[in-house]
Amino acid sequence: MNKSFIYGIVALAIVISISSCKKDKSDADYDYSMATDMSLAENTMEEVTKMADQAGDYGQLMTYRNSAPATVTVIGCAAVTIENVTATIKKMTLDFGATDVTCIDGKRRRGKILVQYEGNYRDANHEHTISFENYFVNDYKTEGTRKITNTGKNNQNQSVFAITADISISNPNGKTMTWQSQRTRTWIAGENTTFNTDSLNGVKDDIYAVTGSGSGKSFNGTSFSANITEPLTVSLQCRFITKGKVELTPGEQAIRYIDYGDGTCDAIAAITINGVTYYREIP
C-alpha cells in the first residue's frame, strides 16, 4: 500500500480524534446539570430546615398546610409529635405518612423527617440534628443528616446558626447525588414576630441570609465544589432561594456561575458557563 495513502489515513484519524475530544470538552463545559443538581440539594436542605423550625416553634407546618383556611387548628401536611428520649433530649417527628400527601406548596411528600435536640428547640448554644426515614419529595429520596447549632447573637442582635450537611438524594431513575456543606445562617428579619392566629403573615416574614461552601457529586457522577459568593436569601414567603450567587467548579471544567435572581419568588436560576447564560427551573 502506498505510504502516502497510509500517512493520509493516520492523519485523518488524528484529526477526527482531536475533533471528537474538542466536542466532548465543549459539551462538558456547557453542561449545566451539575448546577441544577447542587441547587436541588441546597433547596431541599433549606426546605427541611424551614419545616423543622415551624414544627419546633408551633407544633405544625404553618406554611405547608394542605388546607386553605389559615387558622391554628388546621392540620398541616405532616403530623408532628415530640417525645422525650432522655430527661434532657427530645425527638421530634414530622410524619407525612407512607403514601404521598400533597402539601400547599404543591409538592408530594411521604416518609418522616426526624429532629433530635436538647432543651428547648431555640436554645442558644444547642444543636439539633435532622435525619430522614424513607423521606421522599416528588419521588426524590433524601438520606443523611443536617446538624444545626445555634451559636447565639451577632453584634446586630441577630441569631446565627452554624450548619453542616452530609446527604444523598436519589432521583426517580435510581441515580444518586451526594452533597456535603458548611453553612452560616443568619436570621436577618422576622425573629421578633410571632405567629398570628388569624393569618400566616406572622410566620412568613422570617428571612435568613446563608453563606458558606460545599462539595458533592452530581447525578451523572461528576465531582464538584461550590462556594457562596453573595449570601443566599431564604424566606418563609417563598419556597425557593430568591437571591444570592454561587460559584460551582466541576473538576477541571469551567466554573458555573449561579445567580438566584433579584429577590423575586420563582424557581428560575441563571446559570452562566463560559459566558453563555441558561435560565433553568430548580426542581
- pLDDT tens for the 283 residues of the chain, in order: 544 443 443 343 333 333 333 333 445 566 778 888 998 999 899 999 989 988 888 787 766 644 344 333 335 689 999 999 998 899 999 999 999 998 888 889 999 999 999 988 888 888 999 999 999 999 999 999 999 999 999 999 999 999 999 999 999 999 999 999 999 999 999 888 765 544 444 456 889 999 999 999 999 999 999 999 999 999 887 888 999 999 999 988 899 999 999 999 998 999 999 999 999 887 6
Give the count of alpha carbons within 13 A of 117, CB side only: 26
CA separation for the pair 126, 117 (Å, rounded): 8
For the entire predicted model, the pTM comes to 0.81
CA separation for the pair 101, 98 (Å, rounded): 9
Tally DSSP H helices, then E strands, for the chain: 3, 14
Give the count of alpha carbons within 13 A of 21, CB side only: 6
CA separation for the pair 241, 267 (Å, rounded): 8
Nine cell digits for residue 194: 410571632
Place of cell 426546605: 47
Separation in Å, CA 101 to CA 40, 92, 94, 236: 20, 19, 13, 20
